[in-house]
Structure 1
Amino acid sequence: MRLSKSIFALTATLSLAFTGCQQVVKPAATTPTLSETPSDQNQAGTATAPSNQFNLQGKIGVKTPKQSGSAFFTWQQDHEDFDIQLSGILGIGKTIIEGKSGEVTLNSSKTGLIQAESPEELLERATGWVAPITDIVSWVQARPATTDAKIAKDDADRISKIEEDGWTVDLSYNDKETLPNKLILKQALESGAENRVTMVIQNR
């Protein structure tokens, strides 16, 4: 089930920074190697249907035609409440993004406390980054965020690729694990360039 927009847009670590004067190329209507997501099928392949409740630690990197950067993260998700902490972002210091009871806030030593309607907007204001965190909540659990997604699976029947909301996501797994340890998110731009987010999950 898709999470509330006001809370999980949060993933976008970079919001509208990518779209300022760049046009996003919409994916083709059909992709032979991908299939439509069945509404009555377990979307996580062979994994047990996941819930929106997890703890993650790892590193995230963002690269755009104009800038690049990386940060270490811890992410605690409890249904529609979340707490994301980023450290190591150049020029901004430790950043805390929280969503509780419909309120999304960002706090860092450089920006102070910021409130907005979505996490994407918060992070875009603070760092200039953009990433589809609303959808990432589902993607890190090896499932698409909506029934409009197109997916591909590997030989172990795990989701290995998702095309959704203008992004292509490649998922990698360790051995026989059913949840991904690495995600590469790519958003094609009209100029032929792309926005890329690389997320490495070190601990769950």
Structure 2
Amino acid sequence: MRLFSKLGLTLFATSSLVLTGCQPFVQKPANISQQVEAENQFNLQGKIGVRTPQQSGSAFFTWVQQQQQFDIELSGILGVGKTQISGQPGQVTLNSAKTGIIYAESPEELLEQATGWQAPITHLVDWVQARPATVNAQIQKDPQQRPTQFIEDGWTVDLSYNDSASLPNRLILKQALESGQENRITMLIQNR
């Protein structure tokens, strides 16, 4: 039971942080900034699964993004194990019955505190909107010119779409490890 509790806590913290989309503020020209701000408003619901060499698990999520602020709720089946994550630039909090409140300055820092591993969490805001997070991304596209894969910051992100949808309904994030194993996050978006 104790192992399950630790695994559950780590899974929820990992899942929570994977979803956090708090992006650092970057000064952009007005027209580009306005377009990004409009795009960075969404409400997603779905399921997320996390698998590392040490553990695996899944949770249901609701993610509300309003430009630089976000609110994410994670829960197991029938709402068991509820975790709340909120953030804005410079302040991210995770609150659950098992951990209490954990504070950090960034989603990446919070993920490392909670789980001990690192991931480019802030990139998820872009990836769920079918766009690369950096100018250095390697991008593959399908015949409709929708991105099907990003390779950025040591992660490979595969995007899948329903029919002619312009935004992905499934993302698989993979990080190859030196041991030959991988960290894998599967995100299924059921409602936008």
Scaled by the length of structure 1, what TM-score is found?
0.72
Contact 1:13 1:123 in 2 (8 A): no
Q: 1:101 to 1:161 in 2, by over 3 A?
A: closer
Moved more, 119-128 or 180-189: 119-128
Q: Report whether the alignment pairs 1:12 with 2:18.
A: yes
Q: 1:138 aligns with which of 115, 126, 129?
A: 126
- Cα deviation per residue 1:117-153 (whole Å; 9 max; x = unaligned)? 2223324444567543211110000000010100000
Contact 2:17 2:110 in 1 (8 A): no
| Offset of residue 191 of structure 1 | 0.9
Structure 1: give runs of 5+ residues left out of the alignment: 1-9, 15-47
State the structure with bigger RCO (CA 8 A, min sep 6), 1 or 2: 1
In structure 1, C-alpha distance between the alignment counterparts of 2:110 and 2:40, rounded to whole Å? 21
Secondary structure in structure 2 of the residue aligned to 1:120? helix
Q: Match of 2:148?
A: 160
Q: 1:81 to 1:13 in 2, by over 3 A?
A: closer
- Cα deviation per residue 1:62-90 (whole Å; 9 max; x = unaligned)? 0001110111000000000000111119x
> Per residue, is there more helix in 1 or in 2?
2
Letter in 1 for 2:145: D
Q: Report whether the alignment pairs 1:103 with 2:91.
A: yes
Letter in 1 for 2:132: P
Q: Report whether the alignment pairs 1:62 with 2:50.
A: yes
Secondary structure in structure 2 of the residue aligned to 1:12? helix
The alignment of Structure 1 onto Structure 2 pairs a total of residues equal to 160
Scaled by the length of structure 2, what TM-score is found?
0.76
Q: Match of 2:70?
A: 82
Q: 1:150 to 1:173 in 2, by over 3 A?
A: same
Contact 1:186 1:197 in 2 (8 A): yes
Contact 1:11 1:134 in 2 (8 A): no
Identity of aligned residues (%): 69
- Cα deviation per residue 1:142-175 (whole Å; 9 max; x = unaligned)? 0000101000000111000100010001000000
Secondary structure in structure 1 of the residue aligned to 2:101? strand
Q: 1:113 aligns with which of 98, 101, 121?
A: 101
Structure 2: give runs of 5+ residues left out of the alignment: 1-15, 21-34
